[in-house]
Structure formats: structure tokens, C-alpha cells
Amino acid sequence: MNKIFIIIQREYLSRVMNKRFLLTTILTPIIMVGFFAGATFLSISGKDEHKIAVVDNNGFFKGNLQDAKDIHFEFPENVDTSNYIKKGYTDIIIIPKFEGTEKTDYIIRSKKRIGLGTEDKISDRINAAIEDKLLQDAGINRGSLDSIRSKSKFAELKSLEEGTDAATESNAALSYGIGFGSGMLIYITMFIYGAMVMRGVMEEKTNRIAEVMISSVKPFQLMMGKIVGIGGVGLTQFLLWIILILGLSTAAQFLIPQDVMQQVSTLQQYNGQMPGGSMVQAGDAAQKIYKFQHTMSTANWPVIIGCFLFYFLGGYLFYSSLFAAVGSVVNEDPQDAQSLMLPITMPIIFSFIIMTNAVQDPSTSIATWASIIPFSSPMVMMARIAYGIPGTVPYWQLAASMLSLIGGFILTTWLSGKIYRTGILMYGKKVSWKELSKWAFRKNQ
Amino acid sequence: MSLILELENLKKYYATQKAVDDISFNIEKGSIFGLLGPNGAGKTTLLRMITGIFYPDSGSIQFDGSTFNPTEDIIKIGYMPEERGLYKKMKIGDQAMYLAQLKGLSKSEAMEKIKFWFKRLEMETWWNKKVEDLSKGMSQKLQFVTTVLHEPKLIILDEPFSGLDPVNANLIKDEIYGLAERGSTVIFSTHRMEQVEEICDHIVLVNLGKKVLDGTVHNVKQQFKENKFSIHLSSIPTAVESPAFLVDEQKESELIVKINEGYKSNDVLNYFIQANYTIDSFKEILPSLNEIFIKLVENTHSTARAFQQVND
């Protein structure tokens, strides 16, 4: 037992005390955030100034079009599509004869392509102007309409789910996000850490250290030491990511202006409404932050995180021993590994596909069964758990899934251990599937 | 003298061959024992059974007077396999430390022993280097150190000198002698017969999974001697003919003679004395282990047997 601890220690420390580990741990979330931020930025780019000439022969919009940031509307005389650039405008909008009853196209011509965000803004302004005009024609006051609108927003759809004691608020979009996110994370880490185990075993075999080690420790100890050590590396990485995310979001709070934060905390106190009727309106930003925080709080985080850790570890143990067995039978040629890995990667990919469906519809019979069978349960169950226990996932299903996963990884570890101890000392021979199964089910060595 | 290892009727069959087929022999405590055999004779399988990596299909192993228990006794064995290696990215000091701890040494014990051996073999400056920076000979030395570090009762060295230059080979050889003097038993497996002749007290030759030779180096040589003698005369002899012997080879004044059955070496000397030759030297020619090895192994198709099917 002491020996396996020494092996775990080496496997763990040699990976964690490594510059590359720290770098990937810190850079991965930053790169991911950067990637999304970059994608968002690109889609709304078009930050450049727009000076738009509006050709409105009916005078329909005059004085009604409001400028936005970086967008200025002007109503010059004697400007048309042939000379607007010369006169210093970036774009020109031609308003056709507007009847107000039929849908009409208006055309914007630009010096250069306008971004999606800018296009949306321009379209918003024009529609608002039309709306104003129509309201005016119908004799409705803009101010009273606004107050009606904001009052009507107090009624909001909140879906409640039947629980055991009290109906808890649920949020389908959040459940989807959590289910998909955690399923995806398990999918990725299964490959990353499984491959890490396999490479480690292959290294021991090709460097010929296996036999040196086997003369001191049992093959099973060597295999388990590696699996547990690398599992620890995975947990450490998750822990660091959680700390990093918490740290970053705390830091982000300081970037929000003080008065907005005050409004948010007031909203929290009064359950989403400002005290004293609509006398004091909470700012737009505060409303959004409150809404985000409120949505996040509808999820049962302790259960989700607990289950995530369980299914991550269970799934990892289930598959990593299989990866170890593959590593032990591979010779010098890494291409052998490719074909031997196929029977392991196929169920993982297949589970991922089931997971993407289960996250949309968590109660189908295929999702239910896939969340109990240990081959696919780590991913599929996480997708379902996000929708709530015991509402979507009854307790008996969770228990069956967890027990079968535990049984599953004991079985795969046992079989893999038998393949491993023969394979690790076998050189220069390509192993067939028939031989592998013979090794796995042999009583003695 | 007491025995460190007693093997009795060991058998280990694989699907395609009888790797070890009924082998028995004993090894005395404190001796240097040579385990010889051609490639694929079953040596490695035999060694893996002695080190507890494989279980024998049948037969028994007695280690130091009691039944061999791999889990317990493995600490008392140091095995340097033929297929050996180290973690490339690991520092040399850490590597030695790791292997020593796996052999049951505490951290402080391990540190003390590593320092002792590193100093002895002039490796102190290597501590923080990585294994991948070492030459083949250097890593071989490190491998030897990690094998003997925990002062095992039984040391098994499979081709310990491969990749070593003569200076380092001598260094290791001296250490092997030293370990045997201090009471360790050394099993030495190699194809290099001149090394066996020089180092080993006792040898066993296996071929095709069976034991074909067992005895001290001296006895084995006596057993295979062909009654050949070399004679140096002061002048070149002419027309040498005697019922006592045949001339095998003549090189100027040196003769190699084979004594016929029923005659003795003195009959050869008498012949030359009577023929009035001055004898400068007279020496028995014993076969080298190399010759014995080749004689026993040749024509047994030992290398082809890996592809034969076992019938029973």
C-alpha cells in the first residue's frame, strides 16, 4: 500500500510541478474566454463613425431620428447616391415614398461594408422613429406608453418544478447550459486524461522501465498508481479553474460602478423590485446583473458540483484503465495505438451524441438508459442532473447510475489490470484482439 | 554452505512454446552464479519467475530456506533486467530515490545509500541531471546502482556490461566481487563467455527450456576436455609418430597433440625426451566455455523454436 502511494506521488508531482501544467491551467480559461470575446467582438465590430445622409423627400423622419453612439443622422439637401461620399458622408439612406400602412424597403448604401451591430442599430432607430410617428398619428402619448410598458414587465414567466418539499424555480436555459457545459467538460477531460494515462504507460514500456519497476512493485500497483496520480492532476486542474473563475468574477465586480452595485443589492433584498413602487427605477445595468445572479441562483450548485466530481472521477476511472490497457499492448508504433483506441473512443463519442440530445430532452427513454449504463452515464447523467433532482432524475435512477458506474470501473480496472500485466512485458509483437481477450479472462498469469 | 535459492522442477509453458521445461538447480549463498543460454532459451522467463514477476506453472522455488513469497521477498532481490530503462525526464537523484523507496527504504536511508554509491562510482555531480542527458554507459552505471542500493541478498544482473567501456566494466566487475564478498549472491546472465569464465564460480546452461549443463567452471571444463596438450620444443621436429598420441596441429616448433585412449600425458613427454628434443613448455589445453557453449547449442535449432507449436 505504501508503494502505491509512492507511485501516486511521483505520477502526480512530476506532472503538477511542471511549467507546462501551470501554463495550460492558467491559459486554457483565458484562451477560451478570449476566443468567445474575440468572436463576439468581431460580430459586433463596426465601431467606426457613421455619418449618414438621410434622403427623406416626404420629410417623414425629419427631427425624429435620434443619433446613437458613432451614428449620426443628417438631412442634407442636394445629396444623392452619386455624391454622398464626396460631401463627407459614409452612408446614405434613401427613404421611399412612405405610406405607413405597407411594408416598405429602405436602402442604405455605404462606402464600406457596415457591421452587424451597426446595421441593427440603424434599423432600430428607424423603426423607433416610425413607431413614434404612428403613435403620434393615433394620438397616444409616448410617455404614458413607456410607463405601461415598464409596468407590464413586472409580470414574468417563471416556471416552477414539482419537488418533494417545495416547488423550486427552474430555468430551462440555465439547465441546458449547465448540462451541456458539464457534459462537454467530462467529454474533453476523459480524452485528455485518458490519453495522458495511455502515453504514460507507453513511455514506461518503450523506455524499458516497466520491467525494472515490475521487479519492485506489482503491475497492478504500477497501473493504479498512474491512474490515481493523473486523476489527482485532473482534480487539481479543476480546482485551480474554479479558483480562477471565482477570482476573476470577484475582480469583475469591482469594475462595476458603485451605485449600480448598490441597486443590485437593493433588488436582491426586495426580491427583484425596487421599494416604493416605481418612484425609483433601477438602472438597466443593475437589472441585468440582478437577473443574471437570480438566474444562477435557481440552480442547485452543491448537488451539481458534487455530481460533477463524482461523474468526472467515475468516468475517468472507467475509461482510463482501458486506456492504460491499450498503452500496455502498444509497441513502438503509435499507429497501433490509434486502431486499438477505437473501441474506447467510439463509446465516448457516442455518449457525447446522446448527451447533446439528452440536454434538450432529458426524459426520453434513451437518455434515461444511457444515464444509467456506465459507458455513457458520466456525460448523459450530468446533462439530466442539471434539470433537477428528483424532478427529472428520480433518486432511484441516480443511485442505479452511480452504483453501476462504480461496478463498471471496478470491472474495467480488473480486466485492464490483467491485460496490462501481460502487455507491459511483451515486446516486438503485434497483439490481436483474440489474444487480448484471452489475457483479460485468464485466471492466472 | 547454505543455499539462497533452490529451484525444483520449474515449468512455465506459453501458448506457443515451453519456455521453461522442468528445470532444477541450487545456488549457494555468496557465490557468483552464471546463467547461460542462447537467445530464446528461456533465461528471461526463468529470471522473471525468480523475481516474482511470473508464477511458475508448476514446481517450487525456495528462497533463503523457505518458500518464495514474491510480495515479501521482492525487497531482498535486486534485478537488473536485460530490457531496462529509466524515466527520461526525471532527475538522476530523484530517480534513484524513487526506485530505492519502492524497494522499501525510508527517505533518509535511501539518501544515505545513494550518496554512498554515487561517491563510490564517481557520480556525485550527476544528481540534478536528467536521464536523457546521460550516455548509454552512464545510465548503465546508474541502473546498476539502483539495483544494488538496498543491499539485496540476491542480485540478478542480465547482461550488466553491455554498453560499458572497459574501464567502467572493470569498475562494475570489482563491485560485483565486493558484493559477493559481503555476502550477497549474484546471478549473472550473459552471452559473453569470457566474462563468465572470469567471474563465475558456478554455471548452469539452459537450452530449449531445459538445463543442459550444471557445475563449477572448473568441473565443466574438465568434463569437456579433449585430452589436448600443447608442446613447445626448442627445435622443429620431423616425422613425429607415436601410438600414444596424434598430432592435431603443428606450427614450426609448437605442436598440439591429442592423447589416445589408454595413454597419459607422461607418454607424450617420454616420446619427445627419448627422441632427444628439448621441451620448453608443456600445457594442457582446456576447452573455453565459448567452445563448450557452441558445441552444446549448435544444431539444436534453438532460435527457431519460438515458432513451433506445443503439442501437449
pLDDT band at residue A231 using 50, 70 and 90 as cut-offs: very high
Residue A126 covered by a domain: yes
The average pLDDT across B89-96 equals 90
Helix (H) or strand (E) holding B210: strand B210-216
Q: Which residue has the cell 459614409?
A: A90
Residue A25 covered by a domain: no
Residue A302 has pLDDT above 80, yes or no: yes
What local confidence, expressed as pLDDT, does residue B310 receive?
Answer: 46
What local confidence, expressed as pLDDT, does residue B245 receive?
Answer: 85
Assess whether A274 and A185 both reside in one domain. Answer: yes
Q: For residue range A59-73, what is the model confidence (pLDDT) as tens digits?
A: 777 777 777 777 888
Assess whether A414 and A288 both reside in one domain. Answer: yes
Q: For residue range A14-38, what is the model confidence (pLDDT) as tens digits?
A: 899 888 888 888 887 788 777 777 7
Assess whether A108 and A186 both reside in one domain. Answer: no
Bridge partners (DSSP) of residue B156 are B79, B187
B267's CB contacts (< 8 A; 6+ apart) are: B242, B244, B245, B259
Q: Cβ(A168)–Cβ(A388) under 8 Å?
A: yes
Which residues of chain A lie closer than 8 angstroms to B140, CB-CB? none
Number of structural domains in chain A: 2
B56's CB contacts (< 8 A; 6+ apart) are: B10, B11, B12, B20, B49
Domain containing residue A69: 50-136
pLDDT band at residue B264 using 50, 70 and 90 as cut-offs: confident
pLDDT band at residue B72 using 50, 70 and 90 as cut-offs: confident
Residue in chain A lying closest to B55 (CA): A445
By mean pLDDT, which of A104-108, B79-83, B103-107 is the weakest? A104-108
What local confidence, expressed as pLDDT, does residue A272 receive?
Answer: 64
Q: For residue range B14-49, what is the model confidence (pLDDT) as tens digits?
A: 777 788 888 999 999 989 999 988 887 888 889 989
Assess whether A130 and A201 both reside in one domain. Answer: no
ipTM (interface predicted TM): 0.80
Assess whether A223 and A89 both reside in one domain. Answer: no
Residue A164 covered by a domain: no
Which residues of chain A lie closer than 8 angstroms to B81, CB-CB? 208, 211-212, 215
Q: Which residue has the higher pLDDT, B282 or A246?
A: B282
Among the listed residues A237, A160, A185, the one whose alpha carbon sits nearest the alpha carbon of residue A383: A185
Contact B83 A213 (CB under 8 A): no
Assess whether A271 and A354 both reside in one domain. Answer: yes
Contact B83 A211 (CB under 8 A): yes
Q: Cβ(B80)–Cβ(B162) under 8 Å?
A: no
Compute and round to an integer the Cα radius of gyration of chain A: 31
Q: Which residue has the higher pLDDT, B231 or A127?
A: B231
Q: Does residue A216 sit at the B interface (CB-CB below 8 Å)?
A: yes
Q: For residue range A337-378, what is the model confidence (pLDDT) as tens digits?
A: 788 888 888 999 999 999 988 888 888 888 899 999 998 999
Contact B98 A10 (CB under 8 A): yes
Q: Which amino acid is at B30?
A: G
Q: Which residue has the higher pLDDT, A169 or A58?
A: A58
Asked which of A88, A118, A136 is the last residue of a domain, the reply is: A136
Contact B83 A208 (CB under 8 A): yes
Assess whether A198 and A81 both reside in one domain. Answer: no
pLDDT band at residue A412 using 50, 70 and 90 as cut-offs: very high
Q: How far is CA B3 from the centre of its chain?
A: 18
The average pLDDT across B248-260 equals 85
Cα-based distances in Å from A7 to A11, A208, B69: 6, 17, 22
Residue A399 has pLDDT above 50, yes or no: yes
Phi and psi at B106, nearest 5°, equal -75, 170
* Domains of chain B, each with CATH number or no CATH: 3-222 (3.40.50.300), 226-285 (3.30.70)
How many CB atoms are located within 10 Å of the residue A146 CB? 10
Q: Does residue A47 sit at the B interface (CB-CB below 8 Å)?
A: no
Cα-based distances in Å from A185 to A121, A178, A192: 36, 10, 10
Q: Which residue has the higher pLDDT, A169 or B262?
A: B262
Residue A57 covered by a domain: yes
Residue A166 covered by a domain: no
What local confidence, expressed as pLDDT, does residue A271 receive?
Answer: 67
pLDDT band at residue B191 using 50, 70 and 90 as cut-offs: confident
